[in-house]
Structure 1
Amino acid sequence: MKKGYIHIYTGNGKGKTTAALGLALRAVCAGKKVFFGQFVKGMKYSEVKAEEYLPNFEIHQFGKNCFIYNAPTEEDIELAEKGLKICERVLNSGEYDIVVLDELNIALYYNLLSIERILEILENRAEHVEVIITGRYAPKELIDIADLVTEMNEVKHYYTKGVMAREGIEC
């Protein structure tokens, strides 16, 4: 790949992270190297074990064990900033073919990071790096620079009937 593109998976429906993981699997199976950075997440979702099974796949979490339900804490902000520094280094290194910034849109929505900084980092990344950004509430500034935007819309979800997250499906 000579030029990397920017993908955004957003919307209120299930499947944004799942789609990014599917693309990551496809890329690894094609011999590409993938970095998967999860903002706001710290729970040990099943995908954090992927490094054990997939060569050329690396995953890091930049969040606490619980999701943000109210105002973010200083710790939330510090973890996001630390994660962004790591992701910036990865994006600039050219060492990876695919870089996933999972839930980056949520980190922006909660003002853990600035959109100006994100735009600068994306602009200065190694040219061949494909970037996948996930999360609800994708800001217009990211949508404007993206090459591909997919919006997942919830039509029906069993969660509304009380079905909690199931290991290997939602977590």
Structure 2
Amino acid sequence: MSLTFTTAQTDEDLRQILSLQAQNLKTNLSEEAKQQQGFVTVQHTWEQLSLMHRLTPQIVAKDNGLVVGYALSMMPEMGELIPDLQPMFALLEQIPWQGTPLSRHRYYVMGQVCVGASHRGMGVFDGLYQQHREVYSPNFDVLVTEISKSNTRSQRAHERVGFRTIFEHEDHVDTWNVVAWGY
């Protein structure tokens, strides 16, 4: 195994992210797999992922050149560029973190994190977030994301890295924990 953490460099890296995402979509997994292994909720299009990558380089884990994990990031401006994200970003702007609304902090959003089944339990999840901290902490104070309350594996993994729940809400898709990790 030759595991490295870096930013996606090529269109092929982005295609591999989309492939890994499709394999782990909530709609493509059994109830047992969702409970035991976790899942991702949103399926990005090529256009959305390309735009996200242009605004914020995406962090990946590679094993012998193949993407085996990813941690997608989004700037708050994505809410203006992708209409489906507007409600989430509007909500995030108002949520307090350390006593003041997130809008007053230098924050960015974790769009999705996923580790391929063959590499789970090998430190990939933690490595992706450590790479995020290394790349983004000079320019940001806090990283924020939403986790489905039913995705207990993801919630535990985020807490292990250092995320803390700062808000809970429900929308037409699910009930969510909003979690934050300060740098």
Tell me: higher relative CO, structure 1 or 2? Use CA pairs within 8 A at least 6 residues apart.
1
TM-score of the two chains, using structure 1 as the length reference: 0.30
TM-score of the two chains, using structure 2 as the length reference: 0.29
